[in-house]
């Protein structure tokens, strides 16, 4: 399979210092809302779109992804919430294992089920170690995956998991405190992890302001993922995040 999208992401880091990725939950957007949102994102300075959610409540996920892909001028990357969301319309996918948890289904089970379908669809895969950190609330991904988050006051545990992900051959580390988290991942923890690993770090969850995004890039994040914070902010709000992340 091609590494086109992964190489594109690396080029974003090289050219802009860090990348800005918008997360879209396909279960929370009507077709009209999606069309407006993607048009705004196209003009905002964002670098890519993640699509996915912990739970899908209807049978229209593939149609929504197709709609996003038809409008987007950016790479559309699958952020897996489950195999039911997998379809042919993605440019690439994060082939993730929840390494912070001990649930075997999300360490390897779901991946084994998905792998033959991914190969048949010809989707580019980006091996990713997914680490859930306590964000002060019980997130959807924690509940649905049955995974306990890494305690925020235990950076040594997070560092060890991040190193293990790198040594397992993951190309990205995703540090996640959960959608709508009360607390984002502290900058000092991001900095501590970057001192030990040499693969790009994605940071998401609880980042509510452009300044907070900027500070996390300064701490060592390679990509910032914003979802809830831009839901109702319009084009200007998205641009502010893009400017804060890229000028870091």
Helix, strand or coil, per DSSP, at residue 205 = coil
pLDDT, one tens digit per residue, over 63-101 is 999 999 999 999 999 999 889 899 999 999 999 999 999
Report how far Cα 157 is from the mean position of its chain's Cα atoms: 21
Rounded to the nearest integer, the mean pLDDT of the chain is 92
Global pTM reads 0.94
Please check whether residue 165 is in contact with residue 129, taking contact to mean a CB–CB distance below 8 angstroms.
yes
Residue with more model confidence, 234 or 151? 151
Instruction: Provide the CATH number for the domain formed by 4-246 in this structure.
Output: 3.20.20.390
- Residues 113, 159 contacting (CB under 8 angstroms): no
With contact defined as beta carbons under 8 Å apart, do 86 and 51 qualify?
A: no
Comparing CA positions, the residue from 230, 162, 239 lying closest to residue 193 is 162
Query: 165-213 pLDDT, tens per residue?
Result: 999 999 999 999 977 678 899 999 999 999 999 999 999 999 999 999 9
Measured CA to CA, the distance from residue 3 to residue 172 in angstroms comes to: 13
Whole-Å CA distances, 114 to 3, 30, 108, 128: 19, 27, 10, 15
Residue 248 confidence class, pLDDT cut points 50, 70, 90: low
């Amino acid at each position: 399979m091609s590494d086109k999208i992964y190489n594109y992401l690396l080029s974003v880091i090289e050219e802009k210092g860090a990348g800005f990725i918008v997360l879209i939950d396909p279960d929370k957007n009507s077709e009209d809302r999606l069309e407006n949102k993607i048009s705004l994102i196209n003009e905002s300075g964002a670098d890519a779109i993640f699509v996915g959610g912990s739970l899908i409540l209807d049978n229209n996920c593939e149609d929504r992804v197709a709609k996003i892909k038809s409008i987007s001028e950016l790479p559309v990357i699958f952020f897996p919430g489950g195999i039911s969301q997998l379809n042919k319309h993605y440019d690439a996918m994060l082939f993730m294992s929840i390494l912070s948890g001990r649930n075997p289904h999300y360490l390897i089970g779901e991946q084994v089920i998905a792998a033959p379908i991914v190969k048949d669809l010809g989707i580019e895969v980006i091996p990713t170690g997914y680490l859930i950190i306590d964000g002060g609330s019980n997130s959807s991904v924690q509940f649905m995956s049955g995974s306990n988050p890494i305690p925020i006051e235990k950076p040594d545990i997070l560092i060890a998991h991040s190193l293990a992900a790198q040594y397992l051959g993951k190309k990205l580390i995703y540090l996640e405190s959960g959608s709508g988290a009360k607390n984002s991942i502290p900058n000092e923890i991001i900095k501590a992890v970057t001192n030990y690993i040499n693969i790009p770090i994605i940071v998401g969850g609880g980042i509510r302001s452009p300044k907070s995004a900027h500070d996390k890039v300064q701490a060592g994040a390679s990509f910032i993922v914003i979802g809830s914070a831009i839901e109702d902010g319009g084009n200007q709000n998205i641009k502010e995040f893009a400017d804060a992340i890229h000028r870091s």
